[in-house]
Structure 1
Amino acid sequence: MAGLIQRHGSFLVHRFLTSGKKIARCRSVPFSARIHTSSQLAKLVSFNLSDIGEGIREVTVKEWYVKEGDNVEQFDNLCEVQSDKASVTITSRYEGKIVKLHKQVDQIALVGSPLLDFDVEDEDAGESSSSSSSSESDEEVLQQPVMAAAGHGGTMVALTPCGKVLATPAVRRIAMEHKVDLHKVKPTGRNGRVLKGDVLEYLNIIPEGTVKPHPTLLRGQAPVTSQVEKDKTTLETVVPLKGVAKIMVKSMTECLKIPHFAYSDEIDVSKLVSMRESLKEEALAQGVKLTFTPFFVKAASIALKQFPILNSSFDAANESLIYKSYHNISIAMQTPQGLVVPNVKNVERKSILEIAVDLGALQERGLAGHLTPGDFANGTFSLSNIGMVGGTYTHPCILAPQVAIGAIGQTRRLPRIDASGNVVGAHIMTVSWSADHRVIDGVTMASFSNAWKKWLENPHLFLLAAK
């Protein structure tokens, strides 16, 4: 046919009906006219994930309502997707058969990427491809339908060279059954095609505005922006998440799938304050800055030996616990890149001074942005010393696949009653534990906390665990 077109300098439009092999030939149209042609072969349509607003660029597929081989109609539910803000049900824009699902449940789908492929029922569906990310070629521009204004409010409709409104046989059948003039229906399909939903809106069967216009209808139109929207854009700044912040979104999403329970207590660290004060000058002489955190870490390791279940990880798929003989204790650190949680390796084999050296090295690499994947690998238990910033009690989130975490609050000088009944000043520190309630019960968590607390309230006991 291409050769015939070139010889005669005009387009002969052939329309092949899917219901038979009859060929309808329309009048010749000058070469300069923009017309629509359709191909019976181009029946595979990719249905892309459209922009669902709120700055969301990726979602997780939570449930499919269809499977490959199913036949669907317009507005049938296809799947449910979950963003960090809400769940959204995706409905079909086409009628046809599901050929391929591009994403499985719990996989990430990006805006603009294909969700599934349709084998559409209509002979003209090839031109209705939902992919709008690539620009049209000059050949595609020549294939655009002629746009003409109907007398019903100046609505733009697409006309084929034969003068008909651009619509599929299924849509024409609905229009004929309801005695609807398609020239009066506002089109929303690609390049002005009248869709089934357009007819249903015209008949008030579905609410007006249910069907969104295809991007090809919006080309060349100046966006209408209200003064409120203009003011809003000047007051808001969009910053895409990346690096540590983006990783944190995913890790916290996973963490909140864990059923947390909390346990809190307070510790009198007056003796620990005195011990640290007497040791910090000697530690500094050895080139080590001695803070309270190494004591917290070492006490946790000692208590973990008594309660090894808190040093395990939960394998949900196999419903089993994996006990770790090594104590790689993760420490939450604030860095210029964001909150990171590297770990001190093999704490069970190290002295308090060695732990302090490792903590200092992690902090230096964190501030310089030089932490490596090895610094984060194989953590078994977590501590967060939020008291360095402020606050007392909190509810920390477990770092999966670990099963417990402790958040240490601020140490304050408070009045307490001593053994003789006298009111004395004491250094009181708070701690908040969170545990995975699938595998840790309240008694175990409280017992571990008491063991940890005993070493901090009686720091001379560290002499018995000098290594």
Structure 2
Amino acid sequence: KYVCVFDKSAFKFSHQQRLFRTSAGNLFHNKIILFCYFMNVMLETCVYWYIKEGDSVSQFDSICEVQSDKASVTITSRYDGIIRKLHYNLDEIAYVGKPLVDIEIDASKGVAPEEDVVETPAMSHEEHTHQEIKGHKTLATPAVRRLAMENNIKLSEVVGTGKDNRILKEDILNYLAKQTGAILPPSPKAEIIPPLPKSETVPAAPKDKARKIPVPVSRPIVFSGKDKTEPITGFHKAMVKTMSAALKIPHFGYCDEIDLTQLVQLREEMKPLAQIRGIKLSFMPFFIKAASLGLLQYPILNASLDESCQNVTYKASHNIGVAMDTEQGLIVPNVKNVQVCSVFEIASELNRLQALGSAGQLGTSDLTGGTFTLSNIGTIGGTYAKPVILPPEVAIGALGKIQILPRFNGKGEVFKAQIMNVSWSADHRIIDGATMARFSNLWKSYLENPASMLLDLK
């Protein structure tokens, strides 16, 4: 027998693989060790098993999904084999450096028993997923790159069908099939699993395969009469840390109302075109783009202050976060580089983030690097709020619901207007009220006269 241990250290994406030879035989018993994807994370919660004991798995098949206080991560298999033991039940805490699952492998199927130790150097996430080829970036995950390498396929020769031409596993298999004439098996499950609408009834599923389904509001509440204590984990734990740090910032608020009558009409005209492009067009892309144009004029709102309050860093990129209320709690993914994106590009990225957020599959890159935030409380029904700044950012806006209200025009005539309220919070250590008011007025002017944005678009 041989024992294969994947011993992954607590540093980003570094790992080493060891093969210990103990006696002659044809089987490997592999322990896949949970490793730390992020600094300062020592435990993760096992939220879903894709397999059960006795199942057969292939390379790159999903094994389980774990969630830390920073992101959800899907763990995949590195070998073909049979699942012999699951070390954790659902919602149990999995400790970094401890085994997740045991896999039994046939040594005759491509595993080299002669090789005692194989070292793989540390590599950053960007190095894993981005590679410069002939002057442009090829996007692919480490699993896809390994599959291409094992089949002697150059990624530059493969056409990617994923977002931003990302090369998927299916693209490698299709390319390989064209070269060999092989018949491919059915495609594996998609990476993004959209949630079922809450109104739909969910068919019964085996206990070990079933995901937790959100409890409908109409379901009768059972009163147990007993106190219940449970640990704070996952995104809720991140929220505790972030909000505790946020309330050390001296906030000040500023509120205003915006007449969105022209923007509502413009969006209705653009929706059919967006649908042709496969994009769901909401108001949020316009709010985000208008904010970016305002940040170009008032860069102090897109800055960060160091802990000693001695230096201000003005961020070149407008990575605008959008607060989302999900089953996992409050999360704030951000749209990167809004300053160079069109409204349609922002809408497309928002669609992607919302799908991943609903499925609990947002990655670290989606959740980090934000420079400014908008929170749309209007989707729930609020009008005004007192939003809390997300450090190290220095400003945040909360958008209320759009209401049809009576207003007066320049002639004193009453007309029907589409009114939305906005509530801003800013870091009073480096931002004064006048600056916040001027930024809000500029943002308001772009939204009340959407055509004016054309003058400043680049």
Give yes or no for the alignment of 1:332 onto 2:323. yes
Q: 1:342 offset after TM fit, Å? A: 0.8
Aligned to 1:377: 368
Alpha-carbon distance between aligned partners in 2 of 1:319 and 1:465, rounded to the nearest angstrom: 33
Alpha-carbon distance between aligned partners in 1 of 2:257 and 2:303, rounded to the nearest angstrom: 25
Aligned to 2:225: 234
Alpha-carbon distance between aligned partners in 1 of 2:431 and 2:364, rounded to the nearest angstrom: 29
Aligned to 1:409: 400
Q: 1:314 offset after TM fit, Å? A: 0.6
Q: 1:419 offset after TM fit, Å? A: 1.3
Aligned to 2:277: 286
Aligned counterpart in structure 2 of residue 388 of structure 1, from 375, 379, 400? 379
Aligned counterpart in structure 1 of residue 263 of structure 2, from 272, 285, 306? 272
Aligned counterpart in structure 2 of residue 441 of structure 1, from 410, 420, 432? 432
Aligned to 1:320: 311
Aligned to 1:352: 343
Query: Aligned partner of 1:275: which letter?
Result: L
Task: Please state whether the residue corresponding to 2:258 is helix, strand or coil.
Answer: strand
User: TM-score normalized by structure 1?
Assistant: 0.50
1:421-465 CA-to-partner distances (Å, cap 9, x unmatched) read: 111110010000000000000000000000100000001123334
Q: How does 1:411-426 map to 2 (within 5 A)?
A: 411-426=402-417
Q: Do 1:352 and 1:466's aligned partners in 2 also have CA atoms closer than 8 Å?
A: no
1:258-281 CA-to-partner distances (Å, cap 9, x unmatched) read: 000000000000000000011101
Alpha-carbon distance between aligned partners in 2 of 1:318 and 1:413, rounded to the nearest angstrom: 44
Q: 1:466 offset after TM fit, Å? A: 4.7
Alpha-carbon distance between aligned partners in 2 of 1:282 and 1:237, rounded to the nearest angstrom: 51
Q: Do 1:313 and 1:402's aligned partners in 2 also have CA atoms closer than 8 Å?
A: yes
Task: Please state whether the residue corresponding to 2:286 is helix, strand or coil.
Answer: helix
Query: Aligned partner of 1:280: which letter?
Result: K
Q: How many residues align?
A: 236
Q: 1:233 offset after TM fit, Å? A: 8.5
Query: Aligned partner of 1:402: which letter?
Result: E
Query: Aligned partner of 2:420: which letter?
Result: M
Query: Aligned partner of 1:272: which letter?
Result: L
Q: 1:246 offset after TM fit, Å? A: 1.0
Aligned counterpart in structure 2 of residue 299 of structure 1, from 282, 287, 290? 290
Q: 1:315 offset after TM fit, Å? A: 0.6
Give yes or no for the alignment of 1:365 onto 2:356. yes
Alpha-carbon distance between aligned partners in 2 of 1:379 and 1:313, rounded to the nearest angstrom: 10
Q: Do 1:271 and 1:458's aligned partners in 2 also have CA atoms closer than 8 Å?
A: yes
Q: Do 1:331 and 1:341's aligned partners in 2 also have CA atoms closer than 8 Å?
A: yes
Alpha-carbon distance between aligned partners in 1 of 2:345 and 2:367, rounded to the nearest angstrom: 19
Give yes or no for the alignment of 1:399 onto 2:390. yes
Unpaired runs of at least 5, structure 1: 1-231
Alpha-carbon distance between aligned partners in 2 of 1:442 and 1:410, rounded to the nearest angstrom: 24
Aligned counterpart in structure 2 of residue 250 of structure 1, from 233, 241, 256? 241
Q: Do 1:386 and 1:407's aligned partners in 2 also have CA atoms closer than 8 Å?
A: yes
Task: Please state whether the residue corresponding to 2:430 is helix, strand or coil.
Answer: coil
Alpha-carbon distance between aligned partners in 2 of 1:369 and 1:412, rounded to the nearest angstrom: 31
Task: Please state whether the residue corresponding to 1:319 is helix, strand or coil.
Answer: coil
Aligned to 1:308: 299
Task: Please state whether the residue corresponding to 2:225 is helix, strand or coil.
Answer: helix
1:287-314 CA-to-partner distances (Å, cap 9, x unmatched) read: 0000000000000000000000000001
Aligned to 1:124: none
Q: 1:239 offset after TM fit, Å? A: 2.3
Task: Please state whether the residue corresponding to 2:401 is helix, strand or coil.
Answer: coil
Larger Rg: 1
Aligned to 2:161: none
User: TM-score normalized by structure 2?
Assistant: 0.50
Task: Please state whether the residue corresponding to 1:411 is helix, strand or coil.
Answer: strand
Query: Aligned partner of 1:327: which letter?
Result: H
Task: Please state whether the residue corresponding to 1:235 is helix, strand or coil.
Answer: coil
Determine which structure has greater relative contact order: mean sequence separation of CA pairs < 8 Å that are 6+ residues apart, divided by chain length: 2
Alpha-carbon distance between aligned partners in 2 of 1:235 and 1:302, rounded to the nearest angstrom: 53
Alpha-carbon distance between aligned partners in 1 of 2:260 and 2:225, rounded to the nearest angstrom: 51
Aligned to 1:451: 442
RMSD: 1.4
1:197-252 CA-to-partner distances (Å, cap 9, x unmatched) read: xxxxxxxxxxxxxxxxxxxxxxxxxxxxxxxxxxx993322222110111101110
Alpha-carbon distance between aligned partners in 2 of 1:316 and 1:450, rounded to the nearest angstrom: 30
Alpha-carbon distance between aligned partners in 2 of 1:439 and 1:239, rounded to the nearest angstrom: 40
- Identity fraction in percent: 55
1:336-360 CA-to-partner distances (Å, cap 9, x unmatched) read: 2111001000000000000000001
Instruction: Mark the CA change 1:391 to 1:287 in structure 2 (over 3 Å): closer, same or farther.
Output: same
1:93-139 CA-to-partner distances (Å, cap 9, x unmatched) read: xxxxxxxxxxxxxxxxxxxxxxxxxxxxxxxxxxxxxxxxxxxxxxx
Instruction: Mark the CA change 1:364 to 1:282 in structure 2 (over 3 Å): closer, same or farther.
Output: same
Aligned to 2:43: none
Task: Please state whether the residue corresponding to 1:398 is helix, strand or coil.
Answer: coil
Task: Please state whether the residue corresponding to 2:233 is helix, strand or coil.
Answer: coil
